[in-house]
Structure 1
């Protein structure tokens, strides 16, 4: 049972509200049975399971079925007979075509099937609903999913608009969320860069990059900073970059700098390289040529241009007196006794180091961007993978010969990365990571935006900058069709999951799906939470039910059903591994201990094989923790 099946099961669950009386609106068509006749052309009519006293527009016979259309009128429900309704259910082609004819709609194959579906599910029919449904389903790629979305829109009393329909059909697709995000990221690579698209690429990279790739990126950034910042020639960081293949093993720093600047002048800028970095490298190239030629006027002009560029950097690494610092760097390098120096590698490195920015805004210059100038995209990819493997290896078991200084630097970088990486054995860090993922995708965007508008402040705006609003902003720029389609699909999936969130009295239910990164892969985690709120609106941790679905590399599909009653916890683990029970035994005692520290008591852990309790039937039978029938009124939060 994949994530799409679970979401479809959640979609088909009954709402948290009580079964409310059918509402009658002018234009709706129902099949009903006349139970009793009263004077003045009034009658008791059975519609579904509900009996109503209705005003009829024509005399009818008791105990007969008819097709009725609700008419405008005050007081009683006013009904007009459209067609007789035979006991067969009135779903014969002739009856279906008759209904369409009475609504002045064409009897196409699609329209007949839509009417048949509405009748079978006892859904009210209106001309507007059928007209919209026909067009929406025609534009959708799956007829069955479209019908199910229409049903849920009516049953859950969602706004009957195309946006909600598209959102509900999107979450029924079997493509994993992380695949949809990767597809959008790939499409953005071939799109003209804008501020919105650059921000979108940055947040997508944050969501779908696996731990190995993140380690490689973080490692390259840290080693790159060390190399650029070092004052001496051939520092330890340079040797590490050579060892992993970023730079040629036999090349000197001078050769790396010369080759990189020469290649920059003779080829197009790499994809994704910011215009600011291109201008900076161009001026640095001019400075380097003038240094080699000892052209003092050329050096002065290049330094002046670098000062202007440095002044335009919003968040430089060091101080606001950066232009003075650049002058000191250059003329300190050319101080008496240094004029004939031909090795300017350390100077070029230190100048570029001054332009590295600490901000995470798109277009900010990073050490890895500068490394790419002197290495090339291919070497950066393979070298990054090599570096990730190097940082994940015990320092005493490294096959490559490193000096003590180089080993110390590797240990420092590894420690810095570990501090900022999730550890699946530390529950509090994982909880924070999941909360960050939920916020980053934008499942609570509308709520956070409302709160920010009530109390606007600069730092609070960062909380509302998530994937969903960035997608809306990007789509407003009217991007090309392929990337537009990919962006709309992701946006609709987020909105579709939001549509499933419900409140009824103190009861609440929501479902989220987030990409979770492992070492060399990314998988989707689907979670449904149902429970109740306290009087202050906070979640009651004493009573709730949580369903987790995760596709694991070795254990494959895994569902965890966690039910909490008065802080007593029962777990059901559904997995196809034959010895899953034996494999988990070493973890049960630590689990009990950790739960006790949080004031929870583990009562039982049950193991089930797929096919017994993991299908839609299991999802329906288990039901919510509380009986929702005692609460009236549903607020569906979109």
Structure 2
């Protein structure tokens, strides 16, 4: 099955939307028009396609005649020059094309004739220079690009008033493709591995970024691997040799200190974390408003250190927060000033998307107990019990076990040794509990938006912030490369657990990560002063742009890189405003456990006055290449929050497979205040397997966007 390119659909929508808009002509353009009515002083009403406009003619003409006109001026009035005599409307298209080429003194090559025929048919004005540039482009079409796609791409360039040149043409062509993105990225990865002319640093950085694209669930897999390792280390039926091998992996990944062994690893991590986590940004903000005057200075210093070491903040964001502290230091440090500072920083973090929870997590409370005095212990025990009871990641049985252990604290008779013993027991129980969750529910988060694997990382003193996943990626890579059968089995089990747990939230997370790693909005973010430029430079697009300027890179590698950059640029070119309609096109290369696919999304709708998407009306198309169902198109219409879904696929069993999912879809939409009207399953046109087309129409009464028919 072959689909019309995305640019074809977009172009057809543009044409129909533009019929109600005033045509904009540029000096030098030539178009085929008809004189509808004559007025004094050589003024005339001229029709171009569905548009009519007033223009001044150089010489008197006769109403009703059709000519090729050239724009000679646009200010103060539109001025036209006739470049051909009256055209015989009953003449063949070939005769009209030849007359146009003769009048413009253009070569009558087969490419030029096809270009002229297309623009004549579509009523698109073109200049002589544009036609000559277009001819050169279509003479050198890349493999897999048809003349039809090339003509549609050229028309899009003219409609968008973009230069007709190689880079823009390639961007529109590549951006209009719905498949092949994942394969193109895989091809670049293979070329990079073979390109010995590149410096190792450049090659390794690019390969690392491509690997992150190819493994969107690498951190979840690493969390499941870590969870399984902890279960083995806390078990009693595993040989010391196997335990040592697993400990070595954790040390190489940076999760455990180098001096850890099978006897002290759990004790070391518990003791090594309390100091770090009591100074976390969230907890410091919690302590600040009620801090006594004699400890305020020390808290402010700790707050400055926590900000500077926070890996989630960009350098610009850190500077902005530090300026607030500097301003505070310059004023009298009253209790009210401390409260204002805490509120100010919390508000800035919220606007930065880095809101810090002021409530310590369950592992952090346990670590705080490690260094707490006996008089502070009752309050921490109460907080820990409340945290355990509200922890939605834990089962009722797991909570009961932890609460029974908490009940062992008898403060009156407690000594430092008995307290540490209970804390140690709680730590082991929390590790076991979160290890089970990290394997069975790797994507699930608690009320603080923290996953089980992140809680494990905190317990292991492996991350200062919940979102630091570098160590988990390293652990996944190390275990995957291991030849040890025990470790290979462990990796296989972890991957299977993650595979079984994949749901809609997991796919959403994978798509967001992929888009971020690609760097599609790289140019836009360059203007954002709060963005960390070093982090931005690590995305794929800026790295590819640097590669294209690298003289040591081979031409083959550069061609593959150019295709990917063109694909990214094309998505941006094809997305945007079409009169009252807005369009977003997004192509996401996805790879799940060795299976590559492309997910292409096209959203058509309208924007509200405040610049937000109108969620009541939209048309969304998904183009998918699925492993079992093969090519699939999902057409979703939203009219006044009533949703109709049509699925196009050739599989005869699809209706039977889809039936049980209707109720889940209806329920899920209802939670977002949408009503499901129906789900329809259809096949592609069997009599036109290659010429399947997507047509579009709009009308003034259709508030729901573009009406697309397959």
2:683 — aligned with what?
609
1:133-165 residue CA offsets vs partner (Å, 9 max, x unmatched): 122222323433221111122234445443221
Is the aligned partner of 1:446 residue 2:513?
no
Listed as ranges, the matches of 1:86-485 within 5 Å are: 86-88=87-89, 96-141=97-142, 142=145, 143-172=147-176, 176-191=180-195, 192-193=198-199, 195-209=201-215, 234-236=241-243, 238=245, 383=483, 391-393=491-493, 414=494, 423-425=501-503, 427-450=504-527, 452-453=528-529, 456-458=530-532, 462=535, 465-478=538-551, 479-485=553-559
Q: CA deviation at 1:233?
A: 7.0
8 Å Cα contact 1:442/1:466 also seen in 2: yes
1:199 shift after superposition: 2.6
Provide the secondary structure at the position in 1 that maps to 2:637.
strand
Contact 2:519–2:540 (8 Å) recurs in 1: yes
TM normalised by structure 1 equals: 0.63
1:562-599 Cα offsets, whole Å, 9 max, x none, are: 22333333222222222222222333333333333333
Distance in structure 1 (CA, Å) of the matches to 2:2 and 2:219: 26
Do residues 543 (structure 1) and 617 (structure 2) align? yes
> CA distance change for structure 1 residues 536 and 462 in 2, over 3 Å: closer, same or farther?
farther
Partners in 2 of 1:461 and 1:212 — Cα distance? 22
Q: How many angstroms apart in 2 are the aligned matches of 1:496 and 1:180?
A: 15
| Contact 2:70 2:80 survives alignment (8 Å) | yes
SS at match of 2:685: coil
Residue 585, structure 1, aligned to residue 659, structure 2: yes
Counterparts of 1:14 and 1:107 in 2: how far apart (Å)? Answer: 29
**Equivalent residue, structure 2, for 1:511:** 585
User: For residues 447 and 591 of structure 1, what CA distance do their matches in structure 2 show?
Assistant: 36
| Contact 2:617/2:640 (<8 A) preserved | yes
Question: How many residues are paired up?
Answer: 479
CA distance in 2, matches of 1:366, 1:519: 17
**1:1-80 equivalences in 2 (<5 Å):** 1=1, 5=5, 8-14=8-14, 17-19=17-19, 20-72=21-73, 74-80=75-81
Q: Distance in 1 between matches of 2:473 and 2:643?
A: 50
**Partner residue of 2:452?**
none
Contact 1:43/1:55, CA 8 A, preserved across alignment: yes
Quote the residue 1:261 is aligned against. none
Give, in whole Å, the separation in 2 of the partners of 1:580 and 1:560.
Answer: 13
- Match for residue 598 of structure 1? 672
Residues 22 and 508 from structure 1, CA distance in 2 versus in 1: closer, same or farther, beyond 3 angstroms? closer
For the 8 Å contact 2:224–2:497, the answer to whether it is kept is: no
What secondary structure sits across from 2:83 in the alignment? strand
Cα offset, 1:552, TM superposition: 2.0
1:530 and 2:536 are equivalent in the alignment: no
1:628, distance to aligned residue in structure 2 (A): 7.3
Q: 1:179: how far off?
A: 0.5
CA spacing shift, 1:40–1:430, aligned 2, 3 Å: closer
Provide the rounded CA distance (Å) in 2 between the counterparts of 1:160 and 1:68. Answer: 21
Structure 2 distance, partners of 1:430, 1:112, is 47
- Take 2:124 and 2:68, find their aligned partners in 1: how far apart are those partners? 13
Of 551-560 and 500-509, the range deviating more from structure 2: 500-509
In structure 2, the residue matched to 1:82 is 83
CA distance in 2, matches of 1:544, 1:36: 40
Contact residue 648 and residue 684 of structure 2 kept, 8 A: yes
Inter-partner Cα distance in structure 1 for 2:176 and 2:569: 12
Q: Distance in 1 between matches of 2:16 and 2:539?
A: 29
The Cα of 1:51 is off from its aligned counterpart by 3.8
Q: CA deviation at 1:103?
A: 3.6
Q: 1:22 to 1:16 in 2, by over 3 A?
A: closer
Say if 1:510 and 1:528, in contact at 8 Å, map to a contact too.
Answer: yes
Structure 1 contact 506–534 (Cα < 8 Å) conserved: no
Q: Which residue of 1 aligns with 2:290?
A: none
- The structural deviation recorded for 1:446 is 3.2
RMSD: 4.6
Partners of 1:41 and 1:55 within 8 A in 2: yes
Stretches of structure 2 that go unaligned for 5 or more consecutive residues are 234-238, 249-310, 312-461
Gaps of 5+ in 1: 242-314, 316-355, 372-379, 394-413, 632-638
> Partners in 2 of 1:5 and 1:386 — Cα distance?
48
**TM-score after normalising by structure 2:** 0.57
Say if 2:582 and 2:607, in contact at 8 Å, map to a contact too. yes
Secondary structure of the structure 2 residue equivalent to 1:58: coil
Provide the rounded CA distance (Å) in 1 between the counterparts of 2:484 and 2:22. Answer: 63
Structure 1 distance, partners of 2:689, 2:703, is 23
